[in-house]
Amino acid sequence: MVVPTFSKAAILRILSAIPDPEIPVVNITEMGMLRDVVIGDSGYEIIITPTYSGCPAMSLIEQDIKMTLEASGVRPVTVRLVQEPAWTTDWMSEEAKEKLRKYGIAPPLHSSCSQDVFAHNVITCPRCHSTDTIMLSRFGSTACKSLYKCNECKEPFEYFKCH
């Protein structure tokens, strides 16, 4: 039997140091991927949800969680992947959106759950804040982003799609 010596708040604090492997300016808590921490007799269970079904970063995140916690003396740790409720960009914190913008990625406008993807949204350039932008490709370097170009400052940028 394991005697819990770390509170849930302490665990969450440790986990908030883990960056998103693909967008390292935000951490997994801010992204809304970290769903819960369950402390029980058999150890610490960390519950996470994937942003996309095929997100290749999930196994890396799982590994990061185990390594980070074990380095702080938290053990034994198990990581459970849940599909329900499905991740949405609504869970992204305002801080995270601001960090994305500063990093050069336009943050999601709203939740896409009720939005028509055929509608053409006005995306603001994260660099010069112009609204005169054009979509170059619906898919960017990762499944969660689209490629845009700003007609004002002429810089290309990525937009984190609503999900």
Partner 1 sequence: MVQSYRLSEWCSNAPVLEEDLALTNFALDMTGRAQVLLTYAGKVEGSGKTDDDLAYRRKEREFYNHLVMELPNGDFAFTIARLLFTSAYEYYFFTELKHSADEALAAVAAKTVKEVKYHLAHASDWVLRLGDGTAESHKRMQQAVNELWPYTGELFETSNADAVLRDKNIAVDLAPVKALWRTHVLSVLTEATLEQPEDGYMHSGGSKGVHTEHLGHILSEMQYLQRAYPEATW
What minimum distance in Å lies between the beta carbon of 14 and partner 1?
28
- Kindly tell me which of 38 and 81 has the beta carbon lying closer to partner 1: 81
- Kindly tell me which of 99 and 161 has the beta carbon lying closer to partner 1: 161
Q: Residue 106 corresponds to which tokens in the numbers above?
A: 């336009």
- Kindly tell me which of 120 and 154 has the beta carbon lying closer to partner 1: 120
Residue with tokens 């992947």: 81
- Given the rule CB under 8 A, which residues bind partner 1? 50, 52-56, 83-88, 112-113, 117-118, 136-141, 143, 147, 161, 163
What minimum distance in Å lies between the beta carbon of 61 and partner 1?
14
What minimum distance in Å lies between the beta carbon of 143 and partner 1?
5
| 151 vs 18: CA distance, rounded Å | 35
- Kindly tell me which of 24 and 54 has the beta carbon lying closer to partner 1: 54
- 3-state DSSP call for residue 6? coil
What minimum distance in Å lies between the beta carbon of 53 and partner 1?
3
Q: Is the peptide bond before 107 cis (omega within 30 degrees of 0)?
A: no
Q: Give, for 80, the enclosing helix (H) or strand (E).
A: strand 77-81
| 82 vs 93: CA distance, rounded Å | 20
- Kindly tell me which of 7 and 53 has the beta carbon lying closer to partner 1: 53
Q: What is the CA radius of gyration of the chain?
A: 18
Partners of 80 in beta bridges: 47
Pairing outcome for strands 34-40 and 43-48? antiparallel
What minimum distance in Å lies between the beta carbon of 106 and partner 1?
17
